[in-house]
Amino acid sequence: MGLTTVKLYNDYTGEKQNSEFNVRLDSLITNVSDLVEKKCGRSFGTATYKEWLNGDGTSILFLPQYPITRVKRVANGTNSAIKVENSGNDTATISSNSSAITLNSLSATGTETETYLYFTDYANVSSMTTAINNVSSWTATAQNIPTNETSLIQFMKPIYSEDALGSDVYISLASSNARFGIAYDSRNSLEMVGGAFPCGRRNVYVEWTAGYTLPVDNDQHSALTIEGDLPSGLVLVVNRIVQDVLNNVENDGNFKSEKLADYGYTRDDVKSVVDRYWSDLSEYAYILP
């Protein structure tokens, strides 16, 4: 799906194209839409996000994807889920991201061992604890946590390569919901009720849904099956970009001549046109907090 459709583009130009052209046009719209999103630094389609964000000590928390349509969970505290320690090596560190926990160790003889424990294989506290204990020289102990907060995939706070040799590293999960609401007259911020989001790096966990419903054509591109709710101005700019690409294909020196005959545009070709519309696109670009 894109930020316009073949139907909306043909309505904009007032032209009715044949099916072969519409196939090419549909591909170009996808390419243009992708580059517009990258240029604007945000996604426009509706999606659900689960992220650890930075608190700044105020009662307002800016969400990087918007407009906010639903907030499921906000947690500004953590519970320790697993205690991890390494022994018998010269150095040992543990780190994690959204897909795995990484155990890294270096022996006295210089042998480096790196083990990836993926959440798709070990999704909860119990299975991950067992997996860590099965790795030589690593010890893991499950902590006392609420039974409804055992999901590592959803709730685990990232770890930035902490030293685990002879010292405890705690794998922490987001704690229970904080009291919050969408900030008054805002589509991109939350407001803590009766408190503040504490200062820290990736210390506030948020699950939310944000974005617009994108328009969708029927198979014949003769009508919309989903009208969508994108800003009309954004759809207009995207239509203008698509039209500019098509109208100026023979005049734009950025285009490769071997691509012209079959409308086989490259990403860099379209990007040169998108860049020229920045003054119009900037209205819809990512808003800095």
Backbone phi and psi for residue 43, each to the nearest 5 degrees, phi listed first: -100, 140
Show the CA angle centred on residue 203, arms to residues 202 and 209, nearest 5°: 75
Instruction: State whether 66 and 140 are in the same domain.
Output: no
Q: Measured between alpha carbons, how far is 131 from 60 in angstroms, rounded to an integer?
A: 39
What was the pLDDT predicted at 39?
Answer: 95
* 1 belongs to a structural domain: no
Structural domain tally of the chain? Answer: 3
Same domain, 93 and 168: yes
Q: Which of 210, 225, 257 is the last residue of a domain?
A: 210
CB atoms within 10 A of CB 170: 16
Spatial separation of the C-alpha atoms in residues 264 and 258, rounded to whole Å = 9
Q: How far is CA 269 from the centre of its chain?
A: 26
Give yes or no for a contact between 150 and 96, defined as CB atoms under 8 angstroms apart.
Answer: no
- Residue 60's DSSP bridge partners are 191
Q: Which domain holds residue 129?
A: 78-174
**Domain end point (choices 160, 189, 210):** 210
CA separation for the pair 127, 171 (Å, rounded)? 14
Co-location of 276 and 237 in the same domain? yes
Q: What is the pLDDT along the chain (289 residues), one digit of tens a residue?
A: 899 999 999 999 998 778 888 888 999 999 999 999 999 999 999 999 999 999 999 999 999 999 999 998 898 888 899 999 999 889 999 999 889 999 999 998 889 999 999 999 999 999 999 999 999 999 999 997 777 777 888 888 999 899 999 889 999 998 877 788 888 888 899 998 888 999 988 899 999 999 999 999 999 999 999 999 999 999 999 999 999 998 866 454 444 443 434 555 555 577 888 999 999 999 999 988 7
Question: How far is Cα 170 from Cα 236, in angstroms, rounded to an integer?
Answer: 51
Task: Report in angstroms the alpha-carbon separations of 76 from 45, 64, 111, 209, 265.
Answer: 27, 17, 40, 18, 47
Tell me if residue 94 falls in helix, strand or coil: strand
Give the type of residue at 279.
S
Q: In terms of domains, do 17 and 61 share one? A: no
C-alpha separations of 258 from 215, 248, 255 in Å: 33, 15, 9
Per-residue model confidence (pLDDT) at position 264: 53
Instruction: Check whether residue 201 and residue 61 sit in a common domain.
Output: yes
Beta bridge partners of 173: 79, 156
pLDDT at 286: 93
DSSP H helices, the chain, are 6-13, 19-40, 125-133, 152-155, 232-247, 267-276, 278-281
